[in-house]
Amino acid sequence: MAVQTRVVSIFFIQLVLLAVSGLNRVSGAGLQTGFYDESCPEAETIALKTIRQAISKDGIVAAALLRLHFHDCFVRGCEASVLLDAAEEGDAEKDASSNFSLRGYDVVDDVKSAIEKSCPGVVSCADILALAARDAVRLTGGSSWKVETGRRDGRISLSKEADENLPSSNFNIAQLKQNFAFKGLTKKDLVVLSGAHTIGVTSCFVINDRLYNFTALDPTFASELKKKCKPGGGGPVLELDQGSSTVSDAHFYKAVRQNRGLLTSDAALLNDPLTRAYVKRQSTSPVKATFGKDFGKSMVKMGGIGVLTGNEGEIRKRCAFVN
């Protein structure tokens, strides 16, 4: 999910456009588990091996791969448009302000290259993103789930669509619920998928307004952060889930309940009865398995947003370029 502020008016304009276009639907039609069992039986094994090697060299890559899948699915659907380079300078999704801190493209390219050697022209970049997100979670101690595959790759990527569609780290609960609803996702999906912030980092710049202009943060925690983050946003990178940012678990919810969630959008989960109840339940009970199961279900659901299947789109030879 995005960690940059967007102009709220643009957000509401896009909601209207989405309602008209129908690009928000979650269908998943045409996807199935084991889609490559015959055409490329080693695909998932190759992906897992490549991703394990990448994470062993740089643990933060796990969160980056998970985030890539989120940012792809929320714009045009899960069809790998986030991976495309711009046809014109600065005009692809990866060039948008909401995507400026995305990384992990090189790992996706490595997975694609390795699979292409075994099964050329068979496995889509969109499916690689879905597999990479699952593997990133399980390789950092989280649960696993069966990824439905069979996606094909899109041919269009526009920076303005990323800024218009991605939820902001500064969204309140009403904005978050509406954003997710237009993708066919429920309030439970919202609070569950927010748990992706159990791994990864953010910057002082992203939390500057929340830190210096609001009082929702735990006072002691806010004082600690102000020692690191200067007014204006200068400072080091920060763990999204303090003390547990390399392990996929339910600890994130404990931090949110204690008013130690770094992002405004994380704190917003306490402002709705259903999402607040979920935060409380995950933070007070030994329910790692429950969260893991919930997360897998919501990831599968999100992975079906606006997919291309059958003869739609293409199977890119290289993930950054249309064929």
C-alpha–C-alpha distance, residues 91 and 157, integer Å? 8
104 against 3, higher pLDDT: 104
Contact 299, 204 (CB under 8 A): no
Instruction: Name the phi and psi angles at 282, rounded to 5.
Output: -75, -25
Q: What is the pLDDT of residue 21?
A: 38
DSSP labels, 98-150? GGTT---HHHHHHHHHHHHHHSTTTS-HHHHHHHHHHHHHHTTT----PPPB-
Burial of 276 from C-beta contacts in 10 A (0-12 / 13-18 / 19+): middle
Reported as a pLDDT band with limits 50, 70 and 90, residue 13 is: very low
Segment holding 255, helix H or strand E: helix 251-257
The answer to the question of whether 9 is labelled as a binding residue is no
Q: What is the pLDDT of residue 136?
A: 98
Per-residue pLDDT tens over the stretch 228-274 = 999 887 888 999 998 888 999 999 999 999 999 999 999 999 999 99
The answer to the question of whether 249 is labelled as a binding residue is yes
The answer to the question of whether 198 is labelled as a binding residue is yes
Lowest mean pLDDT among 124-133, 210-219, 220-229: 210-219
Residues with Cβ < 8 Å from 130, sequence gap 6 or more?
69, 78, 147, 148, 149, 151, 303
The model's pTM is: 0.90
In percent, the amount of the chain with pLDDT more than 70 equals: 89
Q: What is the pLDDT of residue 26?
A: 52
The answer to the question of whether 189 is labelled as a binding residue is no
The answer to the question of whether 272 is labelled as a binding residue is no
Please compute the mean of the pLDDT values over residues 285-312 and round it to a whole number: 90
C-alpha–C-alpha distance, residues 142 and 129, integer Å? 17
pLDDT of 8 above 60: no
Per-residue pLDDT tens over the stretch 40-53 = 999 999 999 999 99
Q: Which of 6, 69, 71, 112 is catalytic?
A: 71
69 is catalytic: no
C-alpha–C-alpha distance, residues 318 and 1, integer Å? 25
